[in-house]
Structure 1
């Protein structure tokens, strides 16, 4: 007889995979934005820019950290769920997953949008001042892109957690 895994086992495994992907994207985005700095030479001397100089980038790093911590916690819960087949928080865990995933998804997309917006606006402004900071804004955009990918993985995971909610509520 051919024994296929149950749909709940597949669902738990897919959620774990999505959480791992979100974790990886957020980790790389965090590292990338944290090391982002640029220097341009001017007639008055070198001008340096760091991510801490721009409020939108600080907001972006805050959303990355919040998402990172939440996702790390959810990864642990998912691993326990896949290995043992039992939920850590019982039936309340379904509601927590549903609302937590929704809220964190919104945080992640807002952080990504803030990073993109700041990069585009400031790049245009600095370019007009003959201070292109090309590598600085390229790294910030790459971090915002990874944050966007992290949002997508988290949003897809939230769809899977929403499927489980009506069954257990």
Structure 2
């Protein structure tokens, strides 16, 4: 029939959805990394001295950066695999290992991203409060950038967590395909 089209298979939709989730994660991690890595501010004290703060002054923000970089590297690797998979319809890494790598990698990385976001939020709220209450300097721009970075990191966690749901569906499908061919 003219004008009718065949809908894409569910595996094509899943591969495309997974690629979209990985691209979104990549973008959010990149922006979070930029925001936290350029985060610095200085205020003038009453005595004329200048107090400066930057992200490396707080250990927790170093953990936030580490979680972003680890998530970024893993996600970049997975994006390459996903692009190849969507374009060619084949997996670059064959065998059960690739499905397990996707599943366990997504789970582990999502936990790293979640803990990085939680650490970022917690440190930002506590330290901002301490700076405002005890030192009398708000450093609002510095802590707003840190909160924004933690928020983007949390969004990246959510995208990775959803991606892990997609990759979890691939494991039983792969196992049922293997058992039906034996």
Tell me whether 62-71 or 84-93 shows the greater mean CA deviation: 84-93
Tell me whether 85-94 or 28-37 shows the greater mean CA deviation: 85-94
Counterpart for residue 40 of structure 1: 43
Corresponding pairs, count: 169
Give, in whole Å, the separation in 2 of the partners of 1:2 and 1:109. 41
TM-score in terms of structure 2 length: 0.91
1:13-92 maps to which residues of 2 (within 5 A)? 13-44=16-47, 45-91=49-95, 92=97
Deviation for aligned residue 1:43: 2.4
SS of the aligned residue for 2:123 comes to helix
Alignment root-mean-square deviation, CA: 0.8
Cα deviation 1:71-118 (Å, max 9, x = unaligned):
000000000000111111113211110000000000000000000000
TM-score in terms of structure 1 length: 0.98
Cα deviation 1:19-72 (Å, max 9, x = unaligned):
000000000000000000011110241100000000000000000000000000
Counterpart for residue 95 of structure 1: 100
Larger Rg: 2
Tell me whether 136-145 or 90-99 shows the greater mean CA deviation: 90-99
Counterpart for residue 123 of structure 2: 118
SS of the aligned residue for 2:169 comes to helix
- Give ranges in structure 1 of 5+ residues lacking alignment: none
1:136-147 maps to which residues of 2 (within 5 A)? 136-147=142-153
Give, in whole Å, the separation in 2 of the partners of 1:43 and 1:133. 15
Give, in whole Å, the separation in 2 of the partners of 1:131 and 1:20. 38
Counterpart for residue 112 of structure 2: 107
Cα deviation 1:128-161 (Å, max 9, x = unaligned):
1201110000000000000000001111001000
